[in-house]
Amino acid sequence: MRVEEVLARKGDGVHAVSPEATLREAAELLLDKNIGALVCTDPSGGIVGLIGERELARALARFGADVGSRPVSQVMTRDVFACASDDEVDYLLAVMTETRCRHIPVVREGEVIGLVSIGDLVKARQS
């Protein structure tokens, strides 16, 4: 099964945040959209990082009560692996296991067209 099939089932909506946004703003967007991660983008829409629940939890442990006012750029994952819509689900599951990442942006011609989680891929594999 390919990533494009996963996106066809789950939808291809992607929520993004600026690296200059506060962690509070990022957390509120995650809560509001009921999602686990946001793509951090530059003004042209290019990927500069990812921020998810794991990064927020680590930021809370590191910064304490001051965490909400800090910028996303301080804690986002910068080394982001992206995939193409024709990549195989099994390949991405292996990448996620090896790199311990939980979300992978899907890119076509330099544009983010989706975001898949490890849960999305496991669910697709079981169907």
For residue range 52-86, what is the model confidence (pLDDT) as tens digits?
999 999 999 999 988 999 999 999 999 999 999 99
Q: Please give the pLDDT value at position 88.
A: 97
Residues contacting residue 26 through CB under 8 Å, at least 6 positions apart: 17, 38, 51, 56, 72
pTM: 0.91
pLDDT above 90 (res 115)? yes
User: Residue 82 sits in a domain of what CATH number?
Assistant: 3.10.580.10
pLDDT above 80 (res 127)? no
In angstroms, the CA 95 to CA 82 distance is 10
For 10-45, the pLDDT digits (tens) are 887 899 999 999 999 999 999 999 999 999 999 998
Backbone angles phi, psi at 17, to 5 degrees: -145, 150
The neighbour count for residue 108, using CB atoms within 10 Å, is 12
Q: Into how many domains does the chain fold? A: 1
**What's the rounded mean pLDDT across residues 84-96?**
96
The residue among 125 and 4 whose pLDDT is bigger is 4
Enclosing domain of residue 39: 3-126
